[in-house]
Amino acid sequence: MQNLFRPVALVAALTLPMIAQAQDQATPAATMEITGDVKKGKKVFKKCKACHTVKEGKNKTGPSLYGIVGASAGGVEKFKYSKSLSESGLVWDVETLTAFLTDPKGTVPGNKMSFKGLKKEKDIVDLIAYLHDAAQG
């Protein structure tokens, strides 16, 4: 008789962790994960300041980066983008921004941003937090 209980225990042992895992995964997918340090990101932004502002509508050599996290590429009004960027179809989330800022020319070939890219991933994580924060208030 004892043997009858074994399969039940086995099924429970297999399905319970699976349910717990599914619940764990539901949260990060729903919201974008911004984990960087805003203050440090502001310092990293010094490398971008020659060409970009975070003020709405204020373009320089590069477009305003106000609200860029979550925006579609090439979406700033009155900025004359290259065809490569405006037709890239990209949406700037954490993943695409990280790729672009690591290697601008490799990620969007033919774009006209003269910047070689950032080497440290931590700098990019912090920078994204700053860009996200700058559009909040």
- Residues lying near ligand HEC in the complex (CB under 6 A) are found at 47-48, 50-52, 61-63, 65, 68, 73-76, 81-82, 84-85, 92, 101, 111-115, 118, 127
Nearer to ligand HEC, 6 or 78 (CB): 78
Instruction: Please state the closest distance from residue 83 (CB atom) to ligand HEC, in A.
Output: 8
Chain centroid to Cα 95, Å, comes to 4
CA distance linking residue 51 with residue 11, whole number of Å: 59
One-letter amino acid for residue 51 of the chain: C
Chain centroid to Cα 54, Å, comes to 16
Nearer to ligand HEC, 21 or 114 (CB): 114
CA distance linking residue 86 with residue 65, whole number of Å: 15
Chain centroid to Cα 27, Å, comes to 16
Instruction: Please state the closest distance from residue 113 (CB atom) to ligand HEC, in A.
Output: 3
Instruction: Please state the closest distance from residue 137 (CB atom) to ligand HEC, in A.
Output: 20
Instruction: Please state the closest distance from residue 35 (CB atom) to ligand HEC, in A.
Output: 17
Nearer to ligand HEC, 16 or 43 (CB): 43
- The two three-digit tokens of residue 48, written as one number: 């971008």
Report how far apart the first and last C-alpha atoms of the chain are (Å, whole number): 67
Residue in this structure with the two tokens 């996290």, named with its chain if needed: 69
Nearer to ligand HEC, 6 or 46 (CB): 46
